[in-house]
């Protein structure tokens, strides 16, 4: 069984260049940009300056993975597993207070080094001005994205988080890394998103932290009127559940979404004044 799993994993890795080749061959600059970002994550192609940042962030990950710190996080629905049903309206508004371990959150909720590097290279290539993340957790994926902005020499990063304890740790991590311009806003997405969007022309969004079909599509509707043209939206955990798979299909079929690529657990979409293309797949995991 272990041998079969290793062979399957090796086969998926060998298939990556073939899948990315189709994006290169499209001739579309945005699909090619996605291919380049994914290829850089696959190969680990980094400048010396980028590598220094990544090493520092991965050192932080190692420390979080072994941390004995406890936190009380507020779950507004992000933790629902496939097949689970959300609670009633009052329960979702107040959230469930759950005592948790930092190391468990780091190991299970933080983006892996591979996908964090993909986000890093994507932000480096896009050079966005106003970046928004929905779902901060311990701030590791946020650190990768904010570090990319810092290396770009431009751009602002804002992350939304429902738990004050997690937001506090994320701020601490960002301060330690020297990412003082990154900020986190605490509260339910439904309560904080509108206020953040009202003051910015957002051109990059990482949607994570609430893996629910209707919520995800609702966030899309809230985001679209406030997005720059073009804008990039990254949706995490698009295979989390049957509902999330339906949400991603709906996103790719939405006529306002002009370009979309399914990378496996993560989907990327572009909106704005662009030529509409058929949804693409290039699963990397």
Q: What is the CATH number of the domain that holds 204?
A: 3.40.50.150
Q: Residue 8, exposed/middle/buried by CB under 10 A (0-12, 13-18, 19+)?
A: exposed
Q: What is the pLDDT of residue 73?
A: 77
Q: Give me 94's structure tokens.
A: 């107040």
* Inside any domain, residue 71: no
Q: What is the pLDDT of residue 190?
A: 86
Cβ-contact 220, 254 below 8 angstroms: yes
Backbone angles phi, psi at 211, to 5 degrees: -90, 75
Q: What is the pLDDT of residue 17?
A: 62
Cβ-contact 230, 250 below 8 angstroms: no
* Inside any domain, residue 188: yes
Distance of CA 115 to the CA centre of its chain: 8
Backbone angles phi, psi at 264, to 5 degrees: 110, -105
Cβ-contact 104, 70 below 8 angstroms: no
Q: What is the pLDDT of residue 72?
A: 85
Per the listing, tokens 């192609």 go with 45
Q: What is the pLDDT of residue 94?
A: 56
Q: What total of structural domains would you count in the chain?
A: 1
* Inside any domain, residue 30: no
Q: Give me 96's structure tokens.
A: 């469930």
Q: What is the pLDDT of residue 132?
A: 97
Distance of CA 96 to the CA centre of its chain: 23
Burial code of 128-149, b = ≥16 C-beta within 10 A, e = fewer?
A: bbbbbbbbbbbbbbbbbbbbbb
* Inside any domain, residue 13: no
CB < 8 Å & 24+ apart, contacts of 107-110: 107/65, 109/137, 109/138, 110/61, 110/64, 110/137, 110/138, 110/140, 110/141
**Strand residue runs (E) in 162-276:** 183-186, 202-207, 227-236, 257-262, 266-271
Cα distance between residue 203 and residue 130, in whole Å: 6
* Inside any domain, residue 76: no
Inter-CA distances, 4 with 8, 9, 17, 168, 265, Å: 6, 9, 22, 43, 21
- Residue ranges of the chain whose pLDDT lies below 70: 1-18, 75-95
* Inside any domain, residue 128: yes
Burial code of 68-84, b = ≥16 C-beta within 10 A, e = fewer?
A: eeebebbbbbbbbeeee
The residue segments making up the domain with residue 199 are 47-61+107-281
Q: What is the pLDDT of residue 272?
A: 94
Cα distance between residue 119 and residue 66, in whole Å: 24
* Inside any domain, residue 215: yes
Residues 6+ apart with CB under 8 A from 111: 119, 140, 141, 144, 236
* Inside any domain, residue 34: no
Other C-beta atoms closer than 10 Å to the C-beta of 175 total: 12
Angle at Cα 157 formed by Cα 199 and Cα 24, nearest 5°?
110
**Strand residue runs (E) in 39-179:** 70-75, 96-101, 130-134, 156-161
Q: What is the pLDDT of residue 2?
A: 53
Residues 6+ apart with CB under 8 A from 69: 101, 102, 169
């Amino acid at each position: 069984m272990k041998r079969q799993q290793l062979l399957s994993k090796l086969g998926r890795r060998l298939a990556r260049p073939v899948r990315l080749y189709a994006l290169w061959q499209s001739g579309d600059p945005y699909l090619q940009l996605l291919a380049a970002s994914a290829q850089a994550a696959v190969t680990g192609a980094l400048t010396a300056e980028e590598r220094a940042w990544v090493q520092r962030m991965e050192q932080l990950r190692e420390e979080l993975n072994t941390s004995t710190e406890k936190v009380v996080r507020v779950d507004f629905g992000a933790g629902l597993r496939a097949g689970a049903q959300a609670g009633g309206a009052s329960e979702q508004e107040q959230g469930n207070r759950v005592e948790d371990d930092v190391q468990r959150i780091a190991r299970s909720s933080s983006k892996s080094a591979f996908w964090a590097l993909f986000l890093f290279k994507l932000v480096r290539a896009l050079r966005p001005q106003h970046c928004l993340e929905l779902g901060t957790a311990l701030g590791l994926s946020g650190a990768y994205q904010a570090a990319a902005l810092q290396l770009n020499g431009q751009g602002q990063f804002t992350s939304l988080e429902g738990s004050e304890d997690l937001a506090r740790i994320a701020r601490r991590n960002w301060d330690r890394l020297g990412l003082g311009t990154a900020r986190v806003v605490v509260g339910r997405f439904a309560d904080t998103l509108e206020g953040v969007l009202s003051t910015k022309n957002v051109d990059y969004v990482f949607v994570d932290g609430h893996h629910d079909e209707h919520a995800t599509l609702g966030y899309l509707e809230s985001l679209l009127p406030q997005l720059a043209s073009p804008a990039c939206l990254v949706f995490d955990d698009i295979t989390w559940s049957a509902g999330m798979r339906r949400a991603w299909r709906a996103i790719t079929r939405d006529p306002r979404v002009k370009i979309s690529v399914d990378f496996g657990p993560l989907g990327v979409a572009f909106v704005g004044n662009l030529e509409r293309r058929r949804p693409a797949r290039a699963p990397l995991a």
